[in-house]
Amino acid sequence: MNNISWSAFEYEEKKRSPDWFWALGIIVVAGSITAIILGDAFFAILLVLGGVSLGFFAVRKPQLITHELSDKGLKIKDKMYLYKDIQSFFVRTEHTPALFIKTKRIFLPVIVTYLDNVYPENVKEFFIENNVPEEEMKEHYSEKIVERLDL
Domains of the chain: 71-148 (2.40.50)
Rounded to an integer, the average pLDDT of 127-144 is 78
| Per-residue pLDDT, 41 | 94
Rounded to an integer, the average pLDDT of 49-57 is 93
Q: What confidence tier does 22 reach under pLDDT thresholds 50, 70, 90?
A: very high
Rounded to an integer, the average pLDDT of 76-98 is 86
Asked whether the predicted pLDDT for residue 151 surpasses 60, the reply is: no
Rounded to an integer, the average pLDDT of 120-132 is 85
Rounded to an integer, the average pLDDT of 79-97 is 86
Instruction: Please state the three-class secondary structure of the chain as a single string.
Output: CCCEEEEEECCCCCCCCHHHHHHHHHHHHHHHHHHHHCCCHHHHHHHHHHHHHHHHHHHCCCCEEEEEECCCEEEECCEEEEHHHEEEEEEECCCCCEEEEEECCCCCCEEEEECCCCCHHHHHHHHHHCCCCECCCCCCHHHHHHHHCCC
Select the more confidently predicted residue: 119 or 34. 34
| Per-residue pLDDT, 1 | 62
Asked whether the predicted pLDDT for residue 139 surpasses 90, the reply is: no
Q: How far is CA 71 from the centre of its chain?
A: 25
| Per-residue pLDDT, 2 | 78
Percent of the chain with pLDDT over 90: 27
Rounded to an integer, the average pLDDT of 101-130 is 84
Rounded to an integer, the average pLDDT of 143-150 is 61
92 phi and psi angles, rounded to 5 deg: -90, 130
Rounded to an integer, the average pLDDT of 2-15 is 82
| Per-residue pLDDT, 142 | 61
